[in-house]
Each structure stands twice: as structure tokens, then as C-alpha cells.
Amino acid sequence: MLKGHQSWTFASKPVIAATATVVGPDEGLGPLGDEFDIVHGDATLGQKTWEKAEKALLEEAAQRTLDKAGLTGGQVQFYIGGDLMNQIISNTFAARTLNMPYIGIFGACSTSMEGLALAAQLMDAGAAHHVMCGTCSHNSTAEKQFRYPTEYGSQKPPTAQYTVTGAGAALLAREGAGPVVSAATIGRIVDMGIKDPFNMGAAMAPAAVDTITAHCRDLGIEPGHYDLIVTGDLGAVGYAIAHELFAKHRFPIEQTVYDDCGLLIYDREKQAVQAGGSGCGCSATVTYGHLLKRMQRGELRRILVVATGALLSPLSFQQGESIPCIAHAVAIEAGGEA
Amino acid sequence: MANNKKKNMTMTQQEYQQLAKRIEPKRPVLKNCLRAFLVGGIICVIGQVLMEMFIHWFGFTEKTAGNPTVAVLIFISVVLTSFGVYDKISQWAGAGSAVPVTGFANSLCSAAIEHRAEGVVLGIGGNMFKLAGSVIVFGIVTAFLVGILHLLFGVGR
């Protein structure tokens, strides 16, 4: 149901019946390594190309999710997914194997929560019994498509971010045990004129702040409503800027704990990831792996996940265009609450 | 130019960019320069040692020893690239490993490895000079201009 300008509340409280996360070696070595379902020691996953490896990540995550929920692909009405590759090939090709009716979306790194919000909306509208949403990214495919060949020796500036190799999928059901999706806010495009693709945190931070403030305004709540507000992949630079922007707009973010998935997934002291993690897989694996497990352990009751996306293309930044950014927020609450 | 850029932006955008500038960490230019000097120097010393070897042990002259020296440096660079080491060195060394001939070899080799997946012709053939191509194009253009100057003024004849 529409609430305010750009938010939905889900009266039927769709349940996140199962989630699964699959990551690569660097993410396995990070501080959240134990929270993921499958950690691959080999970034190629035994595949011939990086693109096939990325697709395999998603296939594994989706299959694992189905196994956990005790369902087959035929029992899931819709699969919603997207990724960073041109023409979202990773999801399309994975959907070919998964054999579920498929809705492809593109929201760059915001895809995880864009998919979850749409899936919850489908459930709430009674359009499905089960909906799965998923996303994936691979460091090497992203390097290849957006930057330079993976083995090319270029020096990255300290503002650059490291694309997460990982996939996350979630399955929504009408009832059952598990956390529920209670609300979502669809973000507007915010473009502050940043053109540097090695500084996406700074480009995306205003979009995240815009969506978080819009969410609280639409729902008539304060940030303290949540135990944790987490942004998708702002990294160290974007995170610091977001803090400044909250202060500037007198938004009381200090009522809650504010963190960023891009900072959680790696140990920036030990791993050479510059400003932190990024990519579709970043918010997906941290949310579906780490954060939902913390909810199950009872450490968190309500969280707001704000996945941030930089909607640039390799052509657009070469042609000197600025980077349009977006953020989508989804509120997740621990289940079993009256 | 700078003013022109600003004209196309709104006040809010300009204000934001100032804020972002203030927060984002700067490239450590001095540190990068020192590292580049060190690593670039080491690569040159290796080259010099190789050259001396070719002159003293293999009977090359000072003029002809250049070619085998460059070939060995390129070979080392390609091996390091293939084992996934060169990009790690470069993150530390910056221009130090990018400017010498080893950097050029790395740009060719990395592109060839990366695009092997798209086939030998379209992949390797079409993409190998993706990065090195601009070096060659502007190298030739510069050489052409210098050649014309040389012809007109006979400098260095």
C-alpha cells in the first residue's frame, strides 16, 4: 500500500522464508567469512570465464535458497533479479537454468533491495505464493567491464572500492518462520555532478541520505525506530559524507546505529580494498548472510537496508557524463511479533 | 574551463562537491612519487645489469645489446602478469611499474589474457591493443611531428 510519496507498507508482512549467500575467496577471508553459506576458494569457481563464474555464483545461491525452503523451482511463481553486467546476463542466464518465470531489473548495486521491495509488493498484492529475488556481482567481471583488464597494473586511488564477488538470494513466502518485510521506499535519482568512477561512494551518498529521509518522512517515523540502518556500498568515503549530510539536514541518525555493508564485508586494514566493498553482491550477501543471522540470534529487531546504486555505464563516464545514483530502502523486522 | 564546468552545475551540486572534496582522502602524491622513483629505478638497474651481461658474456655491442635487454624485460613482465603479480606490484609502485617497457608489456598481456574468453580473433586480436593502442597512436603522431620539425629545421643533424 502506498504510504506518503514513494513508500510502500506491506500489511500482509511477507516472510523471508529462506536466504542463501555464496561468496568468493576475499569475502571469505573478511570479518563476515563465517556468515556465508558457501565460500569459494577459487574466484573462477572452476568455470572457463569470469562471466560464467558470476552466473554460477547466483545459480548456487538460488538453488541453496530453494533447498533451505524445501521448495522446487516450479513452486516459485516469479524470480526477480539483476546484476552489473551489460544486458544483465548473469541473472538472465541463471534464470535459464532455474526455470522460473523471470523479471529482470537493473538498479546497479541497488538491485538487491529493488528486487526485495518489488518481490514484497508482488506478495502483498496477492500476485504470488512464493517470489525469489537475487543478485550477484564478481570482482573480475566488473573490473573487465567497467575498468581495466584484471591483471592490468593500474594504481587505484584511496577513494576506489572493491567489487564484491558474491551472490545473495531471498525467498518470500506468505507465512512461516523468519523475518518479515514491513515497508520499502523506492528512491529517486540523485545526481550531484560527481564524474569520477573511482569515487562512487561520494556519488552515491546523497541518494542514500535522500531515500532514508524520505522513508522516515513517508512512514512518519524517526531513525530510532530501527536498531540498525545500513547502506549498501558507500564505503569509507561515502559513509563519512553521509554522516555530514545527515548532520547538515538535522536528521537524527544518532538515534540508531548507522553502518555500511561496504565497510562490514572486508577488513580494510588487512585487505587491499581501498575505501571498502561495492557491487550488487555487497549489500545482498551482507544483508542475507550477516544481518538476517543477527536478527535470528535476537540481536536486532528492526533494520532498514538501503542499497545504493551508481547508474553509470562504461560509455557514459568516458563521454564525461556525471553519475546518476539511486538508493532503495527495505525495512525488515524480526518475525513472530504481534 | 573550470568556470565553464561550474556554470552547468546548480548551487547545491557545487556545495556538495566542495563537501565531498573536503572529506575524500587525497592521492598520496609525494609517497606515490617516491615509490615510482624507487621501483622505476630498480627496473632500470635490472635493465642495465642485463645489458652489461649481454655485452660482456654474449658478445653484443653497446648498440645491439638494447634489443635482447628489452626482450628479457618484456618476458619477465609477461610472466609476472600471467601469475597475477604485476597488478599487485603496480598498486604499490604506480607510475614506477607503468612507465617502463614492462608496463607496456603488462597492458598488452593483461588485455590478451582477459579477452581470451571471447576467442582468438575477436577476443585476443581485437582487444590486445585496447590499452596499448593509444600509446602507439600518440607515439606515432608525436614521432611524425618531431620528424617534420627535424626535416624543416634540421635539428640534431
How do residues A54-94 score in pLDDT, each as one tens digit?
999 999 999 999 999 999 999 999 999 999 999 999 999 99
Q: Going by DSSP bridges, is the β-strand pair A38-39/A78-83 parallel, antiparallel, or unpaired?
A: unpaired
Phi, psi of B29 (to 5 degrees): -65, -45
pLDDT, residue A338, reads 37
CA–CA separation, B55 and B45 (whole Å)? 15
Averaged pLDDT of chain A = 95
Q: How far is B3 from chain A (nearest CA, A)?
A: 14
CA–CA separation, A55 and A88 (whole Å)? 10
pLDDT tens for residues B16-36?
A: 999 999 999 999 999 999 999
Judge whether residue B142 has pLDDT over 60: yes
Best of B13, B74, B109, B114 to substitute, by most chain A Cβ atoms within 10 angstroms, is: B114
Among residues A274, A333, A245, A205, the alpha carbon closest in space to that of A26 is found at A274
- CB distance B19–A144 less than 8 Å? no
- CB distance B28–A158 less than 8 Å? yes
pLDDT tens for residues A208-242?
A: 999 999 999 999 999 999 999 999 999 999 999 99
Look up residue A215 and give its three cell numbers: 522513508
Q: Do A79 and A98 meet the contact criterion of CB atoms below 8 Å apart? A: yes
* DSSP H/E element including A168: strand A166-173
- CB distance A152–B95 less than 8 Å? no
Among residues B130, B121, B94, B107, the alpha carbon closest in space to that of A314 is found at B130
Other residues' Cβ atoms within 10 Å of the Cβ of residue B29: 9
- CB distance A150–B97 less than 8 Å? no
CA–CA separation, A24 and A21 (whole Å)? 10
- DSSP string spanning B3-47? HHHHHTS-HHHHHHHHHHHHHSPPP-HHHHHHHHHHHHHHHHHHH
pLDDT tens for residues A241-260?
A: 999 999 999 999 999 999 99
pLDDT tens for residues B56-81?
A: 999 999 999 999 999 999 999 999 99
- CB distance A153–B87 less than 8 Å? yes
pLDDT, residue A335, reads 82
Residue of B nearest to A322 (CA): B9
pLDDT tens for residues A30-64?
A: 999 999 999 999 999 999 999 999 999 999 999 99
Judge whether residue B1 has pLDDT over 50: no
pLDDT tens for residues A103-158?
A: 999 999 999 999 999 999 999 999 999 999 999 999 999 999 999 999 999 999 99
Mean of pLDDT values over A7-35: 96
| A51: chain B residues, CB-CB within 8 Å | 117
pLDDT, residue B6, reads 58
- DSSP string spanning B62-115? TTTTHHHHHHHHHHHHHHHHHTT-HHHHHHHHTHHHHSSHHHHHHHHHHHHHHG
From the list B9, B17, B84, the residue facing A151 with the nearest CB is B84
What is the percent of chain B with per-residue pLDDT over 90, rounded to a whole number?
A: 87
CA–CA separation, A212 and B80 (whole Å)? 46
Q: How far is B144 from chain A (nearest CA, A)?
A: 27
pLDDT tens for residues A163-200?
A: 999 999 999 999 998 999 999 999 999 999 999 999 99
A320 shares contact with chain B (CB less than 8 Å) = no
CA–CA separation, B40 and B103 (whole Å)? 10
Burial B140-156 (b: 16+ CB within 10 A, else e): eeeeeeeeeeeeeeeee
pTM: 0.93
pLDDT, residue B99, reads 87
Q: Do A199 and A233 meet the contact criterion of CB atoms below 8 Å apart? A: no
Look up residue B71 and give its three cell numbers: 626482450
pLDDT tens for residues B79-132?
A: 999 999 999 999 999 999 998 899 999 999 999 999 999 999 999 999 999 999
Q: Give, as one character, the DSSP assignment of residue B59.
A: -
- Reported as a pLDDT band with limits 50, 70 and 90, residue B156 is low
pLDDT, residue A18, reads 96
A169 shares contact with chain B (CB less than 8 Å) = no
Residue of B nearest to A205 (CA): B20
B45 shares contact with chain A (CB less than 8 Å) = no
Judge whether residue B11 has pLDDT over 60: yes
pLDDT, residue A226, reads 97
Type of residue numbered A321? E
Best of B74, B87, B102, B104 to substitute, by most chain A Cβ atoms within 10 angstroms, is: B87
pLDDT, residue B13, reads 92
From the list B14, B17, B87, the residue facing A151 with the nearest CB is B87
A241 shares contact with chain B (CB less than 8 Å) = yes
Residue of B nearest to A237 (CA): B24
Best of B1, B4, B15, B16 to substitute, by most chain A Cβ atoms within 10 angstroms, is: B16
- Reported as a pLDDT band with limits 50, 70 and 90, residue B154 is confident
Look up residue A7 and give its three cell numbers: 513508500
| B13: chain A residues, CB-CB within 8 Å | 191-193
| A244: chain B residues, CB-CB within 8 Å | 19, 23
Look up residue B49 and give its three cell numbers: 645489469
| B25: chain A residues, CB-CB within 8 Å | 158-159, 236-237, 275
What is the percent of chain A with per-residue pLDDT over 70, rounded to a whole number?
A: 99
Among residues A39, A17, A14, the alpha carbon closest in space to that of A26 is found at A39
Q: Going by DSSP bridges, is the β-strand pair A166-173/A130-137 parallel, antiparallel, or unpaired?
A: antiparallel
